[in-house]
Amino acid sequence: MAKRLIFLGPPGAGKGTQAQILSENHQIPHVSTGDILRSAVAQQTPLGKQAQDYMNRGELVPDVLILNLIQDRLSYEDAVSGWILDGFPRNVNQAAFLEDLLAKLEQNADCVLNLEVPDEVLVGRLLARKRKDDNESTIRRRLEVYHQDTVPVINFYQQREILQTIDGNQTMTEVTQSLSEAIS
């Protein structure tokens, strides 16, 4: 079974939920850049304050603010036997950085899982979450940024022949089943 997984997909596709389920089922840590960032924002760390400004505008937090967090997290002892990376990489530069970092750590990604969900479904899901940074114009801006920056990452991993695309517009159980089949 693949133990080093990268989750791709637009905001609201269910990456976090599915990564948590697989993390529990396979006893590997779920490394969520969103959780790391939200924690930094909540604690009002210098990184958190900088990140908050970008998030409030519906923009991605710059690579440099995220890269060190990822590197630190993947070097923890619990990540040696595997991990699920959720929310990173979001652009080709990050994907290239991650590839270099993983080579340094001698941990190659086994599989990249891409959850596909139509934009209109995503807008509905994100509005239903009722987070204070989720209003329709911010959500649509985030989806625009996703299509512009993250879709090329899908091509990056397709070229490396480790990408599997999963229909994320199914029931939660069906998505979990599809993901489990993809990594077994």
Quote the pLDDT of residue 162.
Answer: 96
The domain tally of the chain equals 1
130-152: average pLDDT: 90
Residue at 3 is within a domain: no
Other CB atoms within 10 A of residue 109 CB: 19
- pLDDT for res 60: 79
How far from chain centre, in Å, is Cα 53? 20
Report the share of the chain in percent with pLDDT over 70.
99
pLDDT score of 1: 67
Contacts 24+ apart (CB under 8 A), 18-24: 18/115, 18/172, 18/175, 18/176, 18/179, 19/84, 19/86, 21/176, 22/84, 22/176, 22/179, 22/180, 22/183, 23/84
Rg (alpha carbons) of the chain, rounded to whole number:
16
CATH number for the domain harbouring residue 36? 3.40.50.300
Q: Is residue 140 part of a domain?
A: yes
- How far are the Cα atoms of 44, 161, 167, 175 from residue 14, in angstroms, in the given order? 27, 23, 11, 9
Please say if the pLDDT value at position 149 is more than 70: yes
Is residue 29 a part of any domain in this protein?
yes
pLDDT at 2: 66
Question: What is the chain's mean pLDDT, rounded?
Answer: 91
CB atoms within 10 A of CB 181: 10
Match 């994100």 to its residue by tokens: 126
Indicate whether 22 belongs to any domain: yes
Contacts 24+ apart (CB under 8 A), 16-22: 16/86, 16/87, 17/172, 18/115, 18/172, 18/175, 18/176, 18/179, 19/84, 19/86, 21/176, 22/84, 22/176, 22/179, 22/180, 22/183
pLDDT tens column, 103-140: 988 889 999 999 999 999 999 999 998 888 789 999 99
Q: Is residue 48 part of a domain?
A: yes
CB atoms within 10 A of CB 164: 17
Q: Which residues span the domain enclosing 112?
A: 14-173
Q: Give the per-residue pLDDT at 27.
A: 93
pLDDT tens-digit readout, 17-69: 999 999 999 999 999 988 888 878 898 988 789 889 988 898 878 887 888 77
In a domain, 19, yes or no: yes
Would residue 179 count as lying in a domain?
no
Residue 43: predicted pLDDT: 87
> What is the pTM for the complete model shown?
0.84
Residue 2 placed within a domain:
no
Residue entry with tokens 């080093």: 4
